[in-house]
Amino acid sequence: MTFLEHLGELRSCLSRAVLSIVVCGITAFVWAGELFHFLTAPLVAHFSEAQLIGTGPAEAFIVKLKVSLGAGILISSPYWFYQIWRFVSPGMYSKERRLAVPFVAGSTLCFLTGVSFCFFTIFPYAFQFFDAEFSSIGVAPQIRIGEYLSFAIKLLLVFGVVFELPVLSYFLARLGLITHTWLIENGRYAVVAVFIAAAIFTPPDIVTQVLLAFPLILLYIICILIAYCV
Phi, then psi, of 55 in degrees rounded to 5: -120, 10
Q: Which pLDDT belongs to residue 93? A: 63
Could you tell me which of 35, 50, 76, 33 has the C-alpha nearest to residue 141?
50
Mean pLDDT across the chain:
84
Terminal alpha carbon distance of the chain: 29
Q: What is the mean pLDDT of residues 84-106?
A: 74
The C-alpha angle with vertex 89 and arms to 85 and 93, in degrees rounded to 5, equals 145
Q: Which pLDDT belongs to residue 35? A: 92
Examine the pLDDT at 42 and tell me if it is beyond 80. yes
Examine the pLDDT at 18 and tell me if it is beyond 70. yes
CA–CA distance, 57 with 147 (Å, rounded to integer): 15
Burial of 226 (0-12, 13-18, 19+ CB in 10 A): buried
Q: Which pLDDT belongs to residue 111? A: 93
pLDDT level of residue 67 (50, 70, 90 thresholds): very high
Q: Which pLDDT belongs to residue 91? A: 65
Phi-psi category of residue 38: left, alpha or beta, with phi > 0 → left and psi -120 to 50 → alpha: alpha
pTM of the model: 0.84
Q: Which pLDDT belongs to residue 113? A: 92
pLDDT level of residue 49 (50, 70, 90 thresholds): confident
- 173-215 residue pLDDT tens: 877 778 888 888 888 888 888 888 777 766 666 776 777 788 8
CB 114 within 8 A of CB 163: yes
CA–CA distance, 229 with 44 (Å, rounded to integer): 43
pLDDT level of residue 23 (50, 70, 90 thresholds): very high
CA–CA distance, 169 with 178 (Å, rounded to integer): 8
